[in-house]
Amino acid sequence: MKRLNVFLIGGTKDSINIIKYLKETFNTYILTTTTTEYGSSLAIKGGSDETIAKPLPKDDILELLKNNNFDLIIDATHPFATHITRTAIECSKISKVPYIRFERPTSKIENIDSEKLHEVKSFEDAGKLISEKWNQYNVLHLAGTNTIEDVLKSLKPEKFYPRILKLESSIKKCEKLKIPKENITFMKGVSTEKENIELIKKINAKVIISKESGETGGLSAKINAASKLNIDFILVTRPEVKSLNENYIVRTLEELDKKIKEIFS
């Protein structure tokens, strides 16, 4: 097989695993796009040849695909980053560059009382539910900075406790939303069940918000911690991308390998 020029839309742990796997298995040049410098640095450490550390609009992606002779688009963005997935699919069709979606498997929800698990379709719905049932209690938010604003449409920030990456952009967003500095916990990668339990106890949280991010996002460790402390857990389910054909999707590195060989055999 000739050298593959891969346009990888990353920023997740999955994308780092993909970079390492491609470099070990194929003769590849990889350009990884991420939305942050932090994600870019991880991609470089993982073996990406080049990175772009900013959100790319459709026209910029099309220009890159046209001018750099890419053979393949791999979309390894977070399951909730639906906008970029739709954009990537559209760019693939326009440029006629094959598209593969690496979709992390969903988690099997176990070890929690069904009455304590509350599934909602959006973070705005999560905020509304909390305002109805737990308005007087501390809320632990384990779903990333970009989802906070929707939750706080229905809540006051004083009892809101987010765990975020220690990035200037994330800190500024919390400041803008008037979240007290003492309410913020900085994370270092995916937290363990023990670390989650310690944090829940520390802030005396009575309810947790998370998203269906799969095992890569540490969902089981969050649910198990909530269950052991008998507190409520609000799970925002994955949004659907209607243009995402099942034929585009792979869920393991072995499936990715097979799909690449099918496309370029």
One domain, residues 82 and 158: no
Whole-structure pTM value = 0.78
User: Same domain for 184 and 125?
Assistant: yes
Report pLDDT for 1. 67
Greater confidence (107 vs 139) lies with 139
Confidence band for 92, pLDDT divided at 50, 70 and 90: very high
Residue 256 lies in domain: 4-105+240-264
218 and 134 share one domain: yes
| Domain at 260, CATH number | 3.40.50.720
pLDDT band for position 13 (cuts 50, 70, 90): confident
| Residues 153, 124 contacting (CB under 8 angstroms) | yes
Window from 35-44, 110-119, 181-190 with minimum mean pLDDT: 110-119
Whether 203 and 163 map to the same domain: the answer is: yes
Q: Are residues 80 and 173 in the same domain?
A: no
pLDDT greater than 70 at residue 107? no
The answer to whether residues 194 and 227 belong to one domain is: yes
On average, the pLDDT of the chain sits at 92
Residue 78 has pLDDT above 90, yes or no: no
* Closest to 32 in 3D by CA, of 7, 57, 54: 7
Q: Does the residue 137 lie in any domain?
A: yes
Task: State residue 38's pLDDT score.
Answer: 85
Q: Which of 226, 251, 195, 231 is nearest to 110 (CA)?
A: 226
Q: Choose from 67-71, 78-82, 238-242 the range with maximum mean pLDDT.
A: 67-71
If asked whether residues 130 and 229 sit together in one domain, one would say: yes
* Least confident piece of the model among 54-63, 104-113, 238-247: 104-113
Residue 111 within any structural domain of the chain:
no
Per DSSP, 52 falls in state E
Q: How many domains are contained in the chain?
A: 2
Q: What is the pLDDT of residue 60?
A: 96
In a domain, 217, yes or no: yes
Residue 186 and residue 221 share a domain: yes
Could you count the other beta carbons within 10 Å of the beta carbon of residue 96? 7
Q: CA–CA separation, 117 vs 97, rounded Å?
A: 42
Angle at which helices 13-25 and 253-264 cross, to 10° = 50
Residues 119-151 have pLDDT tens digits of: 999 999 999 999 999 999 999 999 989 999 999
Mean pLDDT of 227-248: 90
Q: Residue 201 corresponds to which tokens in the numbers above?
A: 């106890």
Q: Which residue has the higher pLDDT, 173 or 213?
A: 173
